[in-house]
C-alpha cells in the first residue's frame, strides 16, 4: 500500500484499502444476477474466475456459453489453486456443455499445450501479450505469438500429436 501513497498525496491505511474493497467488490452478487443479465443480453456470455467444478455446472445452468478457469493471477486470492490444478475436474464436470477457456500462468507455448491437455479449448494470453506489446509494439506481439507457435509445435512433436485436436491428458506425465 505504500506505493499508492505517492499517487494519492497522502499515506494510505488499512482502512483506505478496506474502503476501496467495499466500493469495488459487491458481496451480494450471485448466480441470480446472471439470470437478470441474460434477460437483456442474448449474445455469448463468458464467466471468468471459475475454480470449482460445481461453479462450472452452475454457469451452465444459469445460461453461460463459456467459462474462464482463472485465479486472476493470484492477485485477489493468493491461496487459491492454480488453474492447472483446477482445470481438469472443471473440464470433466461440464464436458461439451460450454466452452472452457483458461487464464493465468500461461507463459509459453508448452504451457498452452499443457492447458489444452488438461481440458481447455483455448488459452488467454493477457500478461504475455501486454509484455510483448510494451517491449516492441505490434512486432513484439507478433514475435511472441510466433515463439508460442514454435514452442507448441515442438511440444506436439515430442508428445506424438499432429493436430491440436489430438492433444489430451495422455501427453502429460502422470505423477
DSSP per residue over 58-94, as a string?
HHHHTT-SEEEE--GGGSS-TTSPPHHHHHHHHHHHH
Strand segments, DSSP code E, in 39-167 are 46-50, 66-69, 99-102, 122-123
pLDDT at 27: 78
pLDDT at 7: 63
Full-model pTM: 0.82
pLDDT at 15: 84
Is 139 tagged catalytic? no
What is the 8-class DSSP label of residue 10?
A: S
pLDDT tens for 132-168 read 999 999 999 999 999 999 999 999 999 999 999 999 9
- Is the separation of the CB atoms in 160 and 115 below 8 Å? no
What is the 8-class DSSP label of residue 73?
A: G
With a CB cutoff of 8 Å and minimum separation 6, the contacts of 173 are none
Q: How far apart are CA 53 and CA 56, in angstroms?
A: 5
pLDDT at 5: 62
Low-confidence ranges of the chain (pLDDT < 70): 1-8, 73-78, 175
Query: Of the candidates 57, 143, 49, 158, which has an alpha carbon nearest to the alpha carbon of residue 113?
Result: 158
- 168: phi > 0 → left, psi -120 to 50 → alpha, else beta; which? beta
pLDDT at 54: 96
pLDDT at 175: 58
Query: Catalytic residue among 72, 122, 131, 172, which?
Result: 72
Amino acid at each position: 500500500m505504500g506505493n499508492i501513497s505517492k499517487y494519492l498525496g497522502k499515506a494510505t491505511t488499512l482502512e483506505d484499502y478496506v474502503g476501496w474493497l467495499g466500493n469495488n467488490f459487491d458481496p451480494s452478487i450471485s448466480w441470480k444476477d446472471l439470470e437478470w443479465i441474460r434477460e437483456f443480453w442474448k449474445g455469448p456470455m463468458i464467466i471468468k474466475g471459475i475454480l470449482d467444478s460445481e461453479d462450472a455446472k452452475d454457469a451452465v445452468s444459469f445460461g453461460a456459453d463459456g467459462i474462464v478457469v482463472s485465479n486472476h493471477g493470484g492477485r485477489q486470492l493468493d491461496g487459491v489453486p492454480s488453474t492447472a490444478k483446477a482445470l481438469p475436474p472443471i473440464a470433466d464436470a461440464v464436458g461439451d456443455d460450454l466452452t472452457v477457456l483458461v487464464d493465468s500462468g500461461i507463459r509459453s507455448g508448452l504451457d498452452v499445450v499443457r492447458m489444452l491437455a488438461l481440458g481447455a479449448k483455448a488459452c488467454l494470453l493477457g500478461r504475455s501479450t501486454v509484455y510483448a506489446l510494451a517491449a516492441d509494439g505490434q512486432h513484439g506481439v507478433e514475435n511472441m505469438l510466433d515463439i508460442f507457435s514454435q514452442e507448441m509445435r515442438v511440444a506436439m512433436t515430442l508428445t506424438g500429436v499432429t493436430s491440436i485436436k489430438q492433444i489430451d491428458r495422455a501427453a502429460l506425465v502422470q505423477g
